[in-house]
Amino acid sequence: MKTQVAIVGGGPAGLMLAYELGTMGIRATIFDRLAEPSPFPPGVAINTCSVELLDQRGLMDALKPRTFPLPQIHFALLTLNSPDLPERVTRQVLVNQYDLERVLEQRAQEVGAVVRRGSEITSFLQLDGTVVATMTTPDGSTEEVTCDYLVGCDGGSSTVRRLAGIPFIPYGDQVPMHGRIADVETSVRDLPAEHQTGARYQPSGSVYMGVPLGPDVMRMTTWEPAEPGGPATEAVSFEELSAAMARVTGRELEPAKLRWGARCTNVIGQAERYRDGRVFLAGDAAQVIFPYNGQALHNALQDAVNLAWKLAATLRGTAPAELLDTYHSERHTAAERVCMNIHAQVAISQSAPAIGSLRTMFADLIRLPEANRYLAEMMTSLDVYYPPGDDADAHDLVGRRLPPVRLKTAEREVTTTELLRGARGILLVLGDATWDPAAAEAWSDRVDTVTGRPLDRVDATVVLVRPDGHVAWAGEPNDSAELRAALTRWFGPAAASDSAAQGAL
């Protein structure tokens, strides 16, 4: 079979990538080794930046009935002071990863994506301008898949990563920890205080996290330092979970039904590179981190959104030659920063004797408003920043996500979140700036120009926004040469038929 983009792995990264590509008119096929979606994926929350990513494509509307506010933000289970934080930072929510994946799969199929279950990649070969992959099928036979690009979204033990010969590089010294994750059928309301909702650190270096998935189901997670467990593939029994709960919280579980239980270890690291020719890595295939703050799930979504518009522009023939290279340079750097903050959180979650007074000192430091906000933006991924390269004089907005901005246009009041629903670039002309409507006409097949009065503060008059919501350029109407360079750098050469309009710049 043939497809423009073959995606290996049907988790959040693969599904989001397929949906994004479909909205841009690109055919994507997902190959997932599971015959049916797992009803027990580990994620239970998405952070603020993930909410914004989903909202800018209209996906949060379908998820909202299944979400619950999660106003508390923590760093290594040290609670940050939410009342002092901007409202934007506190938009993170609880949502079962299963529900997220079902919404993403439905929407991906609606825009033309195909999901092939019970299929597993066994090899691939990069030829001139194409990739030929061999997949097993549900009946045990093999199938050749020809695609323009292959993307591995197949988890921490990624087969695509291994087949591509891309090394996995651990981040720093790995602190030995053994975790258990389980869903327990029990009355959440009647749980003892030790097992109630929340996240708690013990001086022994152990961690307990409890999240209700409904009135009668509790997600319970324990982490213990250097505590041996069974093989990673071995299920966790109720007795084993209860004994771990007793060690971590001081109280065994009351008899209850265990829906499922799994184990995990503390691995933090990245693929050495996220691209090998026409093969890319995204999500857990690209980076593996300890499950703090919903950052692993966010990385998966951000990888997908960053990569999709660049693949689409390349396949449509409008992208500059180096655009696809920015996927690795941007996302590898951003994920390395996540590995750093996760590594730091794990370090100060060790036993009290091991870390001395460091945790106490850190708890004092985060009471400072500046430190509190710095960490909150890091934990919610709002600090993701793509450096502007050689442009040392770039505006402070460049490389960062544009916060949701309300605009009053001649026709209506609209938000930048709504403007991004079309997955196209946006050129915002704000306030009463004198503006030549033909200025960006040469890129009108890729970039929408919107003129309006901002109802929220924006520290620039003209802002060029990429399809992923990050600012490509910001400045004033008379900075025509800089704007033209930014349009060309991110969206390719001006359309040939509009060369006269290009001259208007």
Position 265: which residue type?
Answer: T
Position 389: which residue type?
Answer: G
- pLDDT digits 0-9 by tens, 168-184: 999 988 888 888 999 99
- Mean pLDDT on 443-455: 94
Report the pLDDT value the prediction gives residue 232, as an integer from 0 to 100.
62
DSSP state of 429: E
Q: In which band, very low, low, confident or very high, does the pLDDT at 498 lie, cut at 50, 70 and 90?
A: very low
d(CA 329, CA 317): 21
At 91, phi and psi to the nearest 5?
Answer: -90, 5
Torsion angle, alpha carbons of 395, 400, 405, 407, to 10: 50
Residues of the chain with CATH 3.40.30.120: 406-503
Residues of the chain with CATH 3.30.70.2450: 177-265
Q: Residue 362: pLDDT above 70? A: yes
The answer as to CATH 1.10.10.60 being correct for domain 406-503 is: no
Q: Are 213 and 44 in contact (CB under 8 A)?
A: yes
d(CA 500, CA 505): 9
Written out in words, the top-level CATH class of the domain with range 2-73+94-171+269-347 is alpha beta
Report the pLDDT value the prediction gives residue 431, as an integer from 0 to 100.
85
Q: What is the mean pLDDT of the chain?
A: 91
Q: Is 309 exposed, middle or buried (0-12, 13-18, 19+ CB in 10 A)?
A: buried
Residues of the chain with CATH 3.50.50.60: 2-73+94-171+269-347
d(CA 242, CA 222): 10
- For strands 177-185 and 257-265, give the pairing: antiparallel
d(CA 207, CA 199): 7
Report the pLDDT value the prediction gives residue 221, as an integer from 0 to 100.
93
Query: Could you tell me which of 234, 240, 236, 181 has the C-alpha nearest to residue 210?
Result: 181
Report the pLDDT value the prediction gives residue 235, as an integer from 0 to 100.
84
Q: Are 268 and 172 in contact (CB under 8 A)?
A: yes
Both tokens of 203, joined, read 């001086």
Lowest mean pLDDT among 15-19, 193-197, 496-500: 496-500
Q: In which band, very low, low, confident or very high, does the pLDDT at 230 lie, cut at 50, 70 and 90?
A: low
Query: Which residues share a beta bridge with 46?
Result: 93
Position 425: which residue type?
Answer: G
Report the pLDDT value the prediction gives residue 497, as an integer from 0 to 100.
57
d(CA 447, CA 465): 9
- pLDDT digits 0-9 by tens, 253-304: 999 999 999 888 888 999 999 999 999 999 999 999 988 888 999 999 999 9
Dihedral sign (CA 57, 58, 64, 70): positive
Position 161: which residue type?
Answer: R
Tally of CB atoms within 10 A around 141: 8
- Mean pLDDT on 63-86: 85
Domain with residues 177-265, CATH architecture: 2-Layer Sandwich (3.30)
pTM for the whole structure: 0.95
- Mean pLDDT on 353-380: 91
Report the pLDDT value the prediction gives residue 233, as an integer from 0 to 100.
66
